[in-house]
Amino acid sequence: MNLYRRAWISITCQLGNFAILAVSVFLLAILLSGALSVRQAVTNADTALRAQMPAVATLGLSTSDEDWEIMVAHYEQAGELPGLTASHIREIGSLEYVDAFDFLLVGRVYSSELARAFDEEKFAHIDMPDEFKVDFDSLSNSIAGGGPESWKGTYFWESANLEHFSLMGVQNSDILDVRTGLIELVGGRTFEQRELESLSYVAVVSDEFLKANNLDLGGFVSFDQKEFIDDFRELIYSQPIQLEIVGVFNREFIPEDHPEQEDVQQYFNQINQVYVPAIVVESLTETFWEVLLEHDPEVYLEASAHREAEAPYHHGPVLFSLHDPVHLAPFREAAEEILPDFWLVDDFTNTYLLISASMEMVDEMALWIVIGVSIATAVIVALVILLFLHDRRFEVGVYLALGERKFRAIGQLVVEIMIATILGMTLGLLVGNMLSAEVSTMMIEQDMVRQLEDSERGIAGVAPALHWAGYRAHMTPEEMMEIYEIGLEVRTVIQFYALFLTAATFASVVSLWSITKMKPRELLSTLS
């Protein structure tokens, strides 16, 4: 009789034993399937969350309470903190994850003729509840260089009706804000290498700044370098600076659900900032020190001593653009091995720290379930198969006594075991996947709620330097949970069958080994 037909007849005649094996496998398969599905979903969600992060990072000093105490103690003892140097930055910039980097210089210039771009109508279409309304009068005040009413006339530029503008000195021919998509170059060009290496008074400005001041691409814009002392109350130097407009950029304002005044303020600051080669800002800085030395040598010595006591790196923000946002984690790890003490990589990873902490907890639980179920499968299936075979030894002995080859006799048992195993596995795979979606989602949501309620947990927010530079990465807990989704993927199915069949095969070999060594007479004598 055909081997498979014999196996089928045996199954139908001994449904009890077959059901015990199939149900045991089914229950184990539910656990293994659920755990593997959760681990795959966590991996997918983590990748998707990282993909939504801007692929940018900057550097900054640690702000944790523990590090702050150590820094204070270190400063009191050494008189300074470990300095971030240009060589540190260049070494980090050479890491394989980095697409481009720049250390920026920030300068300030003034004008009594130019106006900062400010178009309130641009926001007329934004439907905001009253509690989120932007106070444009206050915002315009702030943009004009003002502050609280009590400050009016305190600073020289206010009493002289001057507007102030930020110069962003870049050292990369590809302006990183353009390269990363924060702004779009809509006319002209960025800077040539020769303009970065020799003092060239060229600029890239926003299209709104051009319109507000009736300027044109290819034309010139004039500012004044003004230097002050006594907290900006006394003017000690003034010199005109003329810049050729070689490029024009556009900055889209993409409001969040409820844009706040800070977001609008940042937007207006950026459309009114002027990109120039870093060497231009360096020349302004050197001029300031020369003027200060001539005006007040005593103040110069005090200020320059303080300047030398600071870190060797005197530039503004350091910006790294990565090839892919998924590289943020390995980049952080590699960069922090290079950075001096107390310096850290600052990026938007903490934006989804809330859900990542919960997913990490669930993922760790799933890993232990995978390990435990794999071991339990080998042990339990082996025990069930031993029970399954207890009454089958005589049957095998009869087959062998009638001249059946041992391979075919044992093969029949293997076929019956595999049918029960595969049936239980397949059903367990489907049920486990469905249950894991409900259970793991509920666990993650509850843990996120617990974190939000735990005021001592200290979930960090976004990177302030990058946020103020215009980069955004904000997701609500609900939006994060939408990304976490469990599905039956090919990779999960392959892992599931590989792990389970390996454990089941090991259990079957161990259980059947004793039969393969017994002779027909010994098998027939097992009949009680």
* pLDDT over 50 at 149, yes or no: no
Residues 172 and 241 in one domain: yes
pLDDT attached to residue 142: 46
Residues 401 and 302 in one domain: no
Distance CA 370, CA 35 (A): 6
56-61 and 343-346 strand pairing: antiparallel
Give pLDDT tens digits for 362-401: 778 778 887 887 787 777 777 777 776 666 666 666 666 6
- List the domain range (segments joined by +) for residue 337: 55-98+319-347
Residues 341 and 367 in one domain: no
Residues 262 and 123 in one domain: yes
Residues 123 and 43 in one domain: no
Distance CA 344, CA 335 (A): 8
Please give the single-letter amino acid code of residue 502.
T
Block residue for tokens 């059947």: 512
Sign of CA dihedral 146, 147, 153, 155: negative
Residues 287 and 323 in one domain: no
Residues 249 and 109 in one domain: yes
Residues 388 and 332 in one domain: no
- Answer for the pair 400, 517: CB distance below 8 angstroms, yes or no: no
Residues 216 and 148 in one domain: yes
Give pLDDT tens digits for 257-301: 445 566 677 788 888 999 999 999 989 888 888 888 888 788 778
Residues 325 and 365 in one domain: no
- Domain boundary (300, 316, 332) is at 316
Distance CA 247, CA 240 (A): 21
476 falls in which pLDDT band (50, 70, 90)?
A: low
pLDDT attached to residue 42: 77
- Domain boundary (267, 295, 316) is at 316
Our count of domains for the chain comes to 3
Residues 336 and 433 in one domain: no
pLDDT attached to residue 301: 80
* pLDDT over 90 at 202, yes or no: yes
Higher pLDDT, 236 or 247: 247
Residues 163 and 301 in one domain: yes
pLDDT attached to residue 97: 93
Nearest in space to 413 (alpha carbons), one of 427, 393, 428, 433: 393
Largest CA distance in the chain: 116
